[in-house]
Amino acid sequence: MSENKPSQPPAVTFERVEEFIEAYANNVRFESTVYDLKVIFGQSDLHTGSEIVEQHTAITIPWALAKMMIYYLVINVIGQESQNGTIVIPPSQLPPIIEAPTPEQAQQITNADQFFEHLRSARERFLSGKMI
């Protein structure tokens, strides 16, 4: 009798190209299309006396990879917190409350009520520390 095990993908080897770039970011913005998600990284600069975010790198990824990234980011945060304690987010950096859409906005969004309820629920899970 054979067992029905999920097939294992072949091993992957990672190699860095000669032009490999490593950078630091303390700011992330997103631009999305139906096809993909652009992740724009930047760093705060306070030399003028007010905050300016200098955006330096953008990477565009397909939606399937964006969804996989969520999984792996959560795993890494869980690992970090399990080894080093809760990551504290300053109150000024918490995601804002998600307001119900105006009637005009709701007309532009498929399943607007359900969509915004999912957004509110995601924020509540985030605030409670239960990201998944």
Quick one: pLDDT at residue 3? Answer: 65
pLDDT in tens, 62-113: 999 999 999 999 999 999 999 999 999 999 999 999 888 899 999 999 999 8
- Full-model pTM: 0.79
Quick one: pLDDT at residue 2? Answer: 57
pLDDT in tens, 50-64: 999 999 999 999 999
Residue bearing tokens 């009637």: 103
Q: How many residues does the chain have?
A: 132
Extended beta strands in the chain, E state: 27-32, 36-45, 52-62
- Nearest to residue 43, comparing CAs of 54, 34, 29, 31? 54
**Chain-centre distance of CA 87, in angstroms?**
16
The answer to whether 61 touches 36, Cβ cutoff 8 Å, is: yes
Domain segments of the chain: what residues?
Answer: 90-132
